[in-house]
Structure 1
Amino acid sequence: MLGIFISSLLFIEKRRRIAEAFPERVQKLWNEWELRVLVVVSLLLQVILIFFGSRRKYNVSDWVQITLWLSYLSADAIAITALGALSHSQGEPGSSELTALWAPFLLLHLGGPDTITAYSLEDNELWLRHFLGLLQQFGIAIYVLIRSWAYSRVSILTVFMFIPGIVKYGERTWVLRLASKGNFRETMLGSPDPGPNYAKFMNDYDSKQAKGSRVTVGRIEDFQLQMDVDNSHTRTEEAQQKSNPSYSAGNGSNLIDEEILPKAYNFFEIFKRLFADLILSGDDWKKSRVFFQDSSSSTAFKVIEVELGFIYDLLYSKAALVYSLVGLILRCISILSIITLLVVF
C-alpha cells in the first residue's frame, strides 16, 4: 500500500512535467476537464461491469471475457486516479464544494457493482489489500471534504453521500474476505464433535454393576434394530420404484422449473463443501446418486447449471452478503441516504 501511495505521488509529478510540455491553452483545458473525464470514464466502466459481470456465467466468448477483464482491472485504477486528482485540485482556482461532492461518488465506484467482486479466485485472497485501500481512499475523501467544507447545504449533502459510499466499499471488502479460501472453509466447519464421553460411560457402568444391576448393551441393540428398519425402508422404496414408474418420476425425472431451484439449492448447500476441500458423508453421496440416476438428462443438467450459478454468485459476487439480514439492513441505510440526498438536492 505504501508503494501505491509513492507511485501516486510520482504519477502526479510526472503529470506536471508532461503538462508543462503543452501550450498554456491546452493545459488550462486539461485542468478544467480532467476530473470530469475521469468521472465519466469511471462511471462507464461501472456500467460495463454491471451488464457483463454476470454474463460470463453462461457466455464464454472471448470478447466478453476480455471486456470484463479490462474493465475490472481499469475500474479501480480510474476511480483512484480521479480521487487523487480531486484531492489535488482542492484549493486551486475553479474548485468548489460542488466538485467535492464527487469524492463519495468515487467511493461508491470503488465498491463496485453487485454482479462482480472478483474476476478470479485469487482476487478473493487480496481482501486485506482492499481493506487497506478502503482506509486510504476514505482518508483522501475526508481530506477533500475538509478542504472544501463551507458550512453550506452542499457540504451537508456530501456527508449524506459518504454513507452509501463507505457501505458499498465495505461490502466489497467483506465479501472478498468471506470468499477467501481460509474463511470460506471456516464458515462451513461447525463446532468440533467431542464424541461419546467414555469416562462417564464407564463410571456409570461400574457404579451400576457395583449395585448389582444387570448391565446390557441395549443401546447397541437399539442401533442395530434401527439399521434393520432403515434397510427395510430402503428395500420397500426400491420395490415401489420398480413396480410403479411414476413413483420414481416424482423423485426428479421430470421436474418443472419451480421444483428445480429448491432441489439445486439443497444440493448446493451440500456440495459447496467440495470447494473448501472438505469431504462428504456417505449419506450425501447416496442422495445425490439416487436423484441423478432417477432423473432425466435434461433435469440433471438443469440442476447442475443452477448449482454452478449458486457457487459462482457465492465466490464472485456480493450475493453472500446481499441476501443476508446484515446486507438487507445495509441496503436500507444506503437507499434511505441516497433518497434523502436526491430529494434535498
Structure 2
Amino acid sequence: MLITFASSMIFMEKRSVIQVIPESVRKLWNEWELRVMVLLSVSLQIVLILFSKRRKYTTTPWIRILIWSAYLSADWVATVSLGTLSSSQGDSDGKFLDPNYTLMAFWAPFLLLHLGGPDTITAYSLEDNELWLRHLLGLVVQVGVAFYVFLRSWAGTRLTFLSIPMFVAGIIKYGERTWVLMSASSNHLRESLLPSPDPGPDYVEIMRGDTAIVFHKDKGDITSPDGKYIDDAYSLFDKAYSLFKNQFRHLYADLILSFSDRKNSEPIIRHLSPEEAFQVVEMEISFMYDVLYTKATVVYSLLGILLRTASFFSTISTLVIFCFFIDKHEFSNIDINITYLLLLGAIFLEIYAIIMLILSDWRIVWLSSKKNSLTDSICRAITPFRSVLTSDKRWPGRMAQNNLINSCLRDNTKFNQVPRFFDMNRFLERYWYMKWEKVDDMKEPIFSLVLQMTNHAKDLRSLLKHRGDYVITKWGFIETLGWSVVDVEFDHSILLWHIATDLCSYSDEDPNPKARCKISKCLSEYMLYLLVMCPFMLPKGIGEFRFRDTCAEA
C-alpha cells in the first residue's frame, strides 16, 4: 500500500511539472533555443570587441561590469550552444536529414570562432592565464563536439564542404587563445625570459656582462652595438619598447637585471621631460598589459600574421560561396538570416583585428625599426587615422583615493538591504565611496624628487629601500620622525603618515602652496587605497587588519 501511495505521489508530481509549462511554450522554446543562444553568442562577441580595449583607460564602473559579464558569459553561451547543437535531432524520419539541421550544423565552427574570442581580450585577470590547461582541455573537447556535429550532418552537399574553411578559422582562433594564455602564465613567462643553461658561470655572473643594447649617456638615444642611430619621431616608442623588452618583463617575472641594464636605463629617463618620462612608463605598462591580457604575443609575429591571413581568407571565401553557390530555398529564412549574421560578424571581427594591428603601438615600433622612406611614409599616412579610429589613451590618468576618516564617517547602513551573500554589500560599499583624482599636476614634482633621490643613492638597491626617510633626513627631522618610517612595518607607516597628512591638510597655518598639499594628500590616499584594496601590490603584512582596527578606534 505504501508503494502504491508513493507511486501515485510521483505520478502526480510529474503531472504537476508538466502542467506548469504549457505545451505551446515548450514547443516554442525547443524551436528557438539554439537560435537564441547563437544570437546571444554573437552579441557577446560584439560587446567584447567594442568595449574590451577600453578597460585599459577607463574608470567607469558600468563598462568594467559589462566587460566582466560578457567575458564570463561568452564561453558559457558558446559551449551550451555547441551542446544543444550536438543533442539536436538531425534525422527527420530516420533516413533523410532535415535541411534546417544541416544549416544549423554549419553554425558549429562559428561557435569555435567565438570560443577563441577577439584579439583585444583573452584573459580578464591574471588567474585566467594560470588556467590555460583548462582551456586546452576545452579546446580538445569543443573541437571534438563540433566535429561530431559535422559528421552527423554530413550530406555530401556544398554546404557540408563549406564548413571546412570555417573549421580552419575556428580552430586557429581557439588555438591562438589557448597558446596566449599559456605564454602569459607566470611559469611560462618566467621560463621564456631565462637565458640558456650554461655549465660555466652562474646566472649572476652572466647578468654582469654586456647587453645587446647600449644607450648614449649624452642624449639618451638608443643605438645598436654597431653604432647605428635609432632615434626619430617615434623615439619614445623605441625607448619604451627597449626598456620593456630588456628590463620591464624581467622585473615583472622577478628576475635579476644585469648591472649594465640598470646602468644604461638611467640616462634614458634623465634626459626626458616629466611628461615624456611618464609617457615611456605608460607605454611599457601598455605593452605588458597586451602581453598578459590580449593576443599580442601571437598577432604581432610572423606566425600570427600568417594565421590571421589564413583565417581571414577562409571567412571571406565562405561568405562568397554561401552567397552565390548555395541554394537557399530549402532552408528557413530565419536560419538563413542568422547564418548571414554569423558570417558578417566573423568578418567584422577579422577586419577590426586588422585595423587594431595596423594602428597599434606594436606597429609603430616595428615600422620605426625599419628606417626607410617607405615606412616613414606609411607612418605619416596612418598617424592621422590613429587618433580618430582608436584611442591613444593607455591608462585612465587618475589615481584611486581612499580616506580613513571618511571611511569612519560614512553611512555604513547604506547597503544594508543588499544581499550579503559573497559579501556583495561590502564590495559595493568599498567602491561606492572610492574617488579618483587626476595626476597631471603631480608628474613634475614626482619626477623631480625621483631624480634627486637617484643622485644621492649609491645603487638601485639603496634607492628602493627608501620609505620616506630621504625627505625626513633632507629636512632635518630624522631624529624626531624617523621612527615612523624606520622602526615600524611598512603598512603601519602608511597608516601613520596618512592620518598625519590628512589632518595637516586642513591647517590654515600651513605655509606650503596649496598645490603641494593637494599632491601630498592625493598620494597619501592612493597609498591607503593600495593598502586596503590592493594589498598584494605591497610587501606582505597585516595592513588590512590594521586599517580595520584603526577605523574601529577612530
Instruction: With the length of structure 2 as denominator, give the TM-score of the two structures.
Output: 0.48
Q: Name the CA distance, whole Å, in 1 between partners of 2:181 and 2:83.
A: 24
Is 1:181 matched up with 2:157?
Answer: no
Partner of 1:91, secondary structure, is coil
> What count of residue pairs does the alignment treat as equivalent?
280
Matched to 2:258, the amino acid is S
Say which SS state the counterpart of residue 106 (structure 2) adopts: helix
Match of 2:138 among 121, 125, 133: 133
- Quick one: percent identity of the two aligned structures? 54
Following superposition of structure 1 onto structure 2, how do residues 95-134 of structure 1 map, counting pairs within 5 Å? 95-134=100-139
Quick one: distance in 1 between partners of 2:160 and 2:18? 31
In terms of mean alpha carbon deviation, does 29-38 or 166-175 score higher?
29-38
Distance 1:73 1:18, change over 3 A: farther
- Distance, in Å, in 1 between the alignment partners of 2:149 and 2:17 is 25
Deviates more, 1:18-27 or 1:183-192: 18-27
Cα deviation for residue 256 of structure 1 reads 7.9
- AA aligned to 2:316 is I
Aligned residue number for residue 328 of structure 1: 305
Cα 1:19/1:56, change in 2 over 3 Å = farther
Question: Residue 90 of structure 1 contacts residue 147 of structure 1 at CA under 8 Å; is this kept in 2?
Answer: no
**Deviation of residue 69 (structure 1)?**
0.9
Alpha-carbon separation, structure 2, partners of 1:309 and 1:82 = 35
Q: Which residue is 1:191 aligned to?
A: 196
Q: Which moved more, 1:149-158 or 1:93-102?
A: 93-102
Instruction: Quote the Cα distance in structure 2 between the aligned partners of 1:279 and 1:257.
Output: 32
Compute the displacement of 1:20 (Å).
7.1
Over the aligned positions, Cα root-mean-square deviation in angstroms equals: 2.3
Which residue pairs with 1:312 in the alignment?
Answer: 289
Aligned amino acid, residue 283 of structure 1: S
Unaligned runs of 5+ in 1: 1-16, 197-233, 242-246
Query: Are the counterparts in 1 of residues 239 and 268 from structure 2 also a CA contact under 8 Å?
Result: no
> Residue 198 of structure 2 aligns to a residue in which SS?
coil
1:258 to 227, 234, 242: 234
- Aligned amino acid, residue 192 of structure 1: P
- 1:129-168 aligned at under 5 Å gives the runs 129-168=134-173
The amino acid that maps onto 1:289 is E
Q: How does 1:50-89 map to 2 (within 5 A)?
A: 50-89=49-88
Alignment CA distance shift 1:18-1:341 (3 Å):
farther
Given the alignment of the two structures, is residue 45 of structure 1 paired with residue 22 of structure 2, yes or no? no
The one-letter code matched in structure 1 to 2:29 is W
Larger fraction in helix: 1
Query: Per chain length, whose mean CA-contact separation is higher, i.e. which structure has more relative contact order (CA < 8 Å, sep 6+)?
Result: 1
Q: SS where residue 54 of structure 1 aligns?
A: helix
Asked if the contact 1:86/1:144 (under 8 Å) is kept, the reply is yes
Q: What SS does the aligned partner of 1:195 have?
A: coil
Instruction: Evaluate the alpha carbon distance shift between residue 102 and residue 287 of structure 1 in structure 2; reply closer, same or farther with a 3 A threshold.
Output: same
TM-score w.r.t. length of structure 1: 0.76
Which stretches in structure 2 are left out of the alignment for 5+ residues?
1-15, 93-97, 202-214, 223-230, 323-554
Q: CA deviation at 1:18?
A: 7.4
The 10-residue stretch of structure 1 (332-341 or 91-100) with the greater mean CA deviation from structure 2: 91-100
The letter for the 2-side match of 1:184 is: L
Structure 2 match to 1:340: 317
Q: Kindly provide the CA deviation profile for residues 228-268 of structure 1, in whole angstroms up to 9, marking residues without a partner as x.
A: xxxxxx9xx87xx6xxxxx57x78xxx98622111110111
Measured in 1, the distance between the counterparts of 2:103 and 2:77 equals: 20
Distance in 2 separating the partners of 1:56 and 1:285: 32
Distance 1:59 1:73 in 2: 20
How far off is 1:193 after superposition? Answer: 3.1
Pick one of 243, 255, 270 that aligns with 1:278.
255
Q: Alpha-carbon deviation of 1:90?
A: 3.4
Aligned-residue offset at 1:340: 1.8
The residue that corresponds to 1:227 in the other structure is: none
